[in-house]
Amino acid sequence: MSLLEVERLNVVLGESHVLHDVSFSVAEGGVTALLGRNGVGKTTTMRGLLGLVQRTGSVRVAGREVATLLTHEIVAGGVGFVPEDREVFAGLTVGENLRLAERRGSTHDYDLVFSLFPRMKERLKQRAGTLSGGEQQMLALARGLLNENRLLLVDEPSQGLAPHLVTELVEVLERVAELVTVLLVEQNLSMVRRLARDAIVLDQGRVVWTGTATDLLSDAQGTRDLLGVGVAP
């Protein structure tokens, strides 16, 4: 059964028509990867799903149309967001960032958050802007996991992280995927190979391929054609 159904999503930013009738679905459970070269509209798709940019089209979460709702209403309906570049509130402490993320009508699972990210518990009183890049990524994920979500949108979590932190991140995301359905934008294909069950590929604002991640990544030539990069064996 599909948890997320997107039909004819269009986004125009200024003079630029970024997304053209983007349609796809995300099955409940596990990780679905949203892939494509730089600038094809992956982040815009994420922001479009949440209403952070003006868009037209249909977005249904668990059968409920949300394209007519405001961003905070979509999120309150159980859609978490971990944005590109983390976007933690630098002037607030770690504790304040988490307190701000507490949603009304949801339980706040600090035990889960601190079991996944024990360093966050140690740094509750530290300003988020003084955390390392990896720690900021952990905080961004922690904010997304604090509430009960049906769907978690995670945008380029490995961007700018050192390799050992990426390994740590993959382990965390594996555990996260056991708890919530994840739509993941990611450039790191070895990470996608390890985490994703399904894959959607965008090119120039259009969906050009959907299927299982295994099918996509096992076809080296196809992957090179679609994503512009080779896949490590």
Partner 1 sequence: MSTFVLMTITGLGLAALYFLVASGLSMIFGLMHVLNFAHAAFLTLGGYTAWLIADSTGSFLAGVLGGMAVAAALGAVTEKALLRRMHGDHVPQVLLTVGLLLAFTALVRALFGSDPPMPTPSWMNDVTAIAGAPIPNNRFVLIVVAVAVYVAMSLFLAKTRYGLIVRAGVENRPMVTALGIDVRKAFMLVFAMGAALAALAGSLVAAVNGAVAPEQGVTLLIFAFIVVIIGGLGSFHGSALAALIVGLLQQYANFYALVGVGDLIIVLLLAGVLLTRPQGLLGRSLA
User: Given the rule CB under 8 A, which residues bind partner 1?
Assistant: 50, 52, 70-72, 75-76, 81, 83, 87, 89-92, 96, 99-101, 103, 143, 147
Nearer to partner 1, 155 or 198 (CB): 155
Which secondary structure element, helix H or strand E, spans residue 100, and what is its range? Answer: helix 94-101
* Whole-angstrom distance, CA of residue 56 vs CA of residue 51: 10
Nearer to partner 1, 46 or 192 (CB): 46
CA dihedral 219, 222, 225, 227 (to 10 degrees): -60
Min CB(81)–partner 1 separation in Å? 5
Residue with Cβ nearer partner 1 (83 or 157): 83
Q: Toward partner 1, which CB reaches closer, 96 or 203? A: 96
Considering beta carbons, is residue 104 or 164 the nearer one to partner 1?
A: 104
| Burial class of residue 110 in the structure, from the number of CB atoms within 10 Å of its CB (0-12 exposed, 13-18 middle, 19+ buried) | middle
Q: Give residue 142's identity as a one-letter amino acid code.
A: A
DSSP assignment string, 159-224? TT--HHHHHHHHHHHHHHHTTSEEEEE-S-HHHHHHH-SEEEEEETTEEEEEEEHHHHHH-HHHHH
Q: How far is the CB of 96 from partner 1 (least distance, A)?
A: 6
Q: Which long-range contacts (CB under 8 A, 24 or more apart) does 60-66 make?
A: 60/4, 60/5, 60/6, 61/3, 61/4, 61/150, 61/151, 62/3, 62/150
Shortest Å, Cβ 188 to partner 1: 23
Q: How far is the CB of 103 from partner 1 (least distance, A)?
A: 5
SS3 65: strand
Q: Which is nearer to partner 1, 73 or 174 (CB)?
A: 73
CB of 91 to partner 1, least distance (A): 6
CB of 99 to partner 1, least distance (A): 6
